[in-house]
């Protein structure tokens, strides 16, 4: 999902207004209902006021519905989701404040938090794994601890995104964790952790043991920090003697478009990286600059069905330029661009605003990119796709 700068913030109120207008159809006219007469006078009054019918229906439901009426916020969020569903676009979506905050932190590549991975096990317990050197590890959190509550609020029914949002916060503030630890998971204890800035790397790299002339560079997502991380990785790999590269974009679901363009720029010396076409047919070309660190190195890109969006753009662009061979499985097939609006309550709205064209002016196929060398993932511990990429660089076939 691709983010744009605050130049679009002025559109926020317009978008919000459209959503609220559409709420009428979702909240009060979806499903069956019994007819109830509304006076001609009230209907006429409603027709003369902006949003009058909406608030008229809202009031009638609040006053007459037999049962518990959801809160205004819940109804508003439901209305927004219902309206967006009418657009029939899976990438125009609404995120409530907590998931929206987690996503903003992820795209920034850094956040105020305690530095843990968390997931639910087969028994629905929240399991923690602290990052090395993190505030959580320093405070005493151990790998495999169970999280019971955050600031005395139980997490038993909370989603992972909600829990992450509770753990995130301003640098220097404290969060109280209630934990239990195997082999005595029924004995809870508490730890206080001071939040610090957590850097979330999107890039890992190494020289391959089997062939130290081949540098391996994995990009998990495109965040604000990714271009700097890729540049540092390339300088390190080239300095250590890499003369050929494998870029692993498997399971990279995309991220921010500008960082992806900047990363592409390191592997090109000229030409268009991609075109962006908006609904009014305005077109913008993103162009490469001279001086890319790896603009002349042989290159293979690993892809699979979870290679999506910005990562597909990078793979497709470099292939069109003849810079890369794709190895693996067909990619996801997402060639649209979303603007991300932060609404007044901290929720987020993603609105599809444009489509990409590859440098040959072809759109990304809905079926995704077909690899030049198809390779199934295999079922064992051996990475057969990586092995095939190595063989291609070594043998040229």
Q: How many angstroms separate the CA atoms of 331 and 312, rounded? A: 7
Q: Calculate the alpha carbon distances from 287 to 3, 126, 271, 320 in Å.
A: 19, 46, 6, 14
Task: Report whether 252 contacts 219 (CB < 8 A).
Answer: yes
Q: Is 334 a catalytic residue?
A: yes
As a whole number of angstroms, the distance between CA 201 and CA 80 comes to: 33
Catalytic residue selected from 309, 317, 336, 347: 309
Is there a contact between 146 and 180 (Cβ–Cβ < 8 Å)?
yes
Secondary element (H or E) of residue 161: helix 160-167
Q: Is the peptide bond before 129 cis (omega within 30 degrees of 0)?
A: no
Catalytic status, residue 309: yes
Give the active site residue among 221, 311, 317, 334.
Answer: 334
**Residue 104 near residue 96 (C-beta atoms within 8 A):** no
Residues marked as catalytic: 309, 334
């Amino acid at each position: 999902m691709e983010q744009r700068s605050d130049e679009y913030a002025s559109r926020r109120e317009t978008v919000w207004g459209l959503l609220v207008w559409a709420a009428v159809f979702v909240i009060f006219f979806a499903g069956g209902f019994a007819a109830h007469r509304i006076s001609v006078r009230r209907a006429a009054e409603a027709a003369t006021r902006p949003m009058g019918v909406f608030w008229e229906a809202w009031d009638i439901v609040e006053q007459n519905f037999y049962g518990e009426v959801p809160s205004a916020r819940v109804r508003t969020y439901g209305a927004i989701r219902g309206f967006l569903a009418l657009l029939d676009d899976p990438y125009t979506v609404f995120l409530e404040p907590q998931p929206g905050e987690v996503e903003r932190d992820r795209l920034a590549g850094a956040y105020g938090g305690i530095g843990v991975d968390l997931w639910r096990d087969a028994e629905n317990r929240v399991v923690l794994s602290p990052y090395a050197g993190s505030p959580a590890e320093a405070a005493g959190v151990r790998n495999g601890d169970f999280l019971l509550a955050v600031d005395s609020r139980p997490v038993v029914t909370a989603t992972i995104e909600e829990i992450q949002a509770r753990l995130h916060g301003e640098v220097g503030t404290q969060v109280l964790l209630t934990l239990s630890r195997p082999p005595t998971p029924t004995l809870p204890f508490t730890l206080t952790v001071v939040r610090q800035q957590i850097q979330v790397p999107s890039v890992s790299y190494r020289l391959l043991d089997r062939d130290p002339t081949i540098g391996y560079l994995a990009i998990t997502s495109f965040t604000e920090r990714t271009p700097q991380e890729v540049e540092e990785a390339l300088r390190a790999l080239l300095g250590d003697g890499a003369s050929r590269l494998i870029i692993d974009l498997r399971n990279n679901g995309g991220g921010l478009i500008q960082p992806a363009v900047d990363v592409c720029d390191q592997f090109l010396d000229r030409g268009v990286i991609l075109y962006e076409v908006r609904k009014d047919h305005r077109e913008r070309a993103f162009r490469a600059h001279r001086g890319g660190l790896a603009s002349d190195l042989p290159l293979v890109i690993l892809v699979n069905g979870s290679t999506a969006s910005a990562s597909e753009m990078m793979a497709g662009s470099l292939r069109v330029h003849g810079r890369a061979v794709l190895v693996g499985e067909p990619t996801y097939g997402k060639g649209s661009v979303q603007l991300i609006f932060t609404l007044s309550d901290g929720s987020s709205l993603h609105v599809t605003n444009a489509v990409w064209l590859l440098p040959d002016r072809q759109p990304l196929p809905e079926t995704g990119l077909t690899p030049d060398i198809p390779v199934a993932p295999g079922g064992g511990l051996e990475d057969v796709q990586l092995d095939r990429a190595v063989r291609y660089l070594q043998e040229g076939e």
